[in-house]
Each structure stands twice: as C-alpha cells, then as structure tokens.
Amino acid sequence: MARQNETKDLPNGPTGGAVLATHFVVLGIAALLILVRVVLRLRVQRGSLLVSDALLFLAWGAAVATAAFDVVLYHHGLLMPFVTYGLKGWTPPDFPTLEYVLQVGFRFRYCFVPLADNRRRRWCG
C-alpha cells in the first residue's frame, strides 16, 4: 500500500493572504483607536500621556512586528494551510532559505523577552 501524504489529514486553515489581510485590518483599527485615545487625552481632557498610553504604543509596535514577520513567512511559503506550526509540510527550496526562516523565527520569539545576557541581545538587532 502506498504511503499517504502526512499532511493530508490536517484540517484546512486560512490562506496566507487571509492571515495578512486580517493582521493589517486589525492593526488599522487599533491604530485608529489609539489615535482617538491620544487626541481625547491631550486635547479634550487637556492632560498628559500616561504610562498606560506608552504600553499601548509598545503593544501596537509588537503587533506591527508580528505582521512584518508574517509577511516574510508568507513570502517563503510558510503561511499555507497545509504547513503546521512545526514547519511540517513545508520543504525549503535551499539551505539559505531554511537558515533565514529559522533565524527570523528565533528573533521574533526572543526579541520581546527581557534579556539579561548581552550575547542574546545581538540576535535581536
């Protein structure tokens, strides 16, 4: 009996284009809401920005970074419904592409974590 494709039984997920479209729509809505909040705080309430506003800016920046990494992954064919989180179902075209994708994943995973070691900081730049 012929061996079946291991990824054939995986559930269908959204396409890469749908993921990117959702990212950018949500980012746009969030940016609009953050802008409204800042305008209300500075002009209507005549107050100053608070720590919570800075945290909102940081969170929005992290969301933009996530979307940017998804664009890179989409470009390399990783946001397809048949590719799993562990890259099962994806065959890299060559070794430099595999190395680049793994470096992008490493940088994304560890750049938002507070780093105590200077050797780790060089991976985030």
Q: pLDDT of 60-107, one tens digit each?
A: 998 998 888 888 888 888 888 888 777 788 888 888 888 888 887 777
> Can you give the pTM of this predicted structure?
0.69
Q: Say what the pLDDT of residue 87 is.
A: 79
- 86: helix, coil or strand? coil
Nearest to 71 by CA among 112, 110, 21, 113: 21
**Per the structure block, which two tokens stand in for 119?**
């050797």
Q: Say what the pLDDT of residue 111 is.
A: 63
